[in-house]
Amino acid sequence: MESKKRLTVPGAINILILLLFTFLCLYPMWYIFINSWSSPAAVNRGVYFIPLEFTTEAYTNLGQIPGLTSSIFISFARTISGTILTVLCSSFTAYLLADKFLPAKKFLYRFFIVTMYVNAGFIPYYLTISAIGLRNNFLVYILPAAVQAYFIILIKTYIESIPGEMVESAEMDGAGIFRIYAQIIMPLSKPILACIVVFTAVNQWNTWSDDMFFMQGRNAGNLHCLQYLLYQNLQSNVVTSVGAGAAAGAAMKVSSMTLRMAMSFVTIFPILCVYPFMQRYFTKGIMLGAVKG
């Protein structure tokens, strides 16, 4: 068996290629990190391995970006409330659909599942959202994603694998629908719910386009999320430096570069923090995706 561990030439090449791609995946994050802690002058010359001329300037300057604090708050708010809402709504729907006493069970199940395939297109969706007054409303972040067909499939499949006797004996003891849901179904489907929590949370944190679509103009107030603010900041390529000379303008441009690096890092930091702990759920999630609807 030990001889199997011997490194052959193709094996070594294989490992080198894998290392190279791993490096390509990690380096951009590291690059942003080291540049955000370096001085603008050093960034201009190029910072590639470790922070040069260490400074916290970029992070202290973040406060100058209008709306940053509120956007961080909104991003966390939509992530937390959106995740709770999606998990509760999707799992409760799945639980009801899994109940054998539900009349017209097949029809009702399909009523939810068809939404995965039927897509009205963006404009009708936009007009509907406008008509029900969800524009410039925090709820547009979390309500449309609350009941998701795909999650319903996953949870329902899981619930149906729970032995029916457990639910029946609880019913004998007089437990109602809510009680069974909260005290039997939820605890027993923890593994699948954990996957859904992780996926929904990452998704909520990363989504920015609903912000661009539905939060417009002055009425949007402080409802923008962090990703959108970063997008806007990256878009404004030219830093307006009225009355400044070319050199000063260039310096401004560079320091705005470190500012963007810092902002990017703030945006990615929560994901990197939870990633090591969530990794097994991500892996499990994609495997569950293989189940049939």
Regarding 30 and contact with another protein (CB under 8 A), the answer is no
Q: Which of 39, 42, 74, 92 binds another protein (CB under 8 A)?
A: 92
Q: Which of 44-52, 53-61, 65-73, 189-197 is the region at the interface with another protein (rule: CB under 8 A)?
A: 44-52
Q: Which of 113-121, 154-162, 186-194, 239-247 is the region at the interface with another protein (rule: CB under 8 A)?
A: 113-121
Q: Which of 9, 10, 238, 240 binds another protein (CB under 8 A)?
A: 10
The interface mask with another protein, positions 49-88, x = CB under 8 A, is: ----------------------------------------
CB contact at 8 A, 44 and 254: yes
- Restricting to residues 159-218, name those near another protein by CB under 8 A: 177, 202, 205-209, 213
CB of 176 to another protein, least distance (A): 8
Number of residues that bind another protein (CB under 8 A): 88
Minimum CB distance to another protein smaller for 138 or for 231: 231
In this structure, what is the dihedral angle of CA atoms 178, 179, 180, 184, given to the nearest 10 degrees? 120
CA distance 203 to 240: 34
CB of 42 to another protein, least distance (A): 12
**In the chain, helix, strand, coil percent, each to 5?**
75, 0, 25
CB of 278 to another protein, least distance (A): 9
Q: Which of 62, 68, 102, 156 binds another protein (CB under 8 A)?
A: 102
CA distance 129 to 239: 35
Q: What is the DSSP string of 84-100?
A: HHHHHHHHHHHHHHH-T
Minimum CB distance to another protein smaller for 57 or for 211: 211
Q: Report residue 113: phi and psi, to 5°.
A: -70, -35
CA distance 284 to 139: 30
Distances (CA, A) of 279 to 14, 199, 271, 284: 24, 11, 11, 9
Regarding 264 and contact with another protein (CB under 8 A), the answer is yes
Regarding 257 and contact with another protein (CB under 8 A), the answer is yes
Q: Which candidate, 201, 218, 214, 223, places its Cα nearest to that of 145?
A: 201
DSSP 3-state of 32: helix
Q: Which of 42, 68, 74, 97 binds another protein (CB under 8 A)?
A: 97
CB of 222 to another protein, least distance (A): 19
Q: Which of 119, 187, 243, 245 binds another protein (CB under 8 A)?
A: 119
- Restricting to residues 124-163, name those near another protein by CB under 8 A: 124-128, 132, 143-144, 146-147, 149
Q: Which of 166, 182, 234, 273 binds another protein (CB under 8 A)?
A: 234
Q: Which candidate, 143, 147, 170, places its Cα nearest to that of 91?
A: 147
CB atoms within 10 A of CB 43: 21
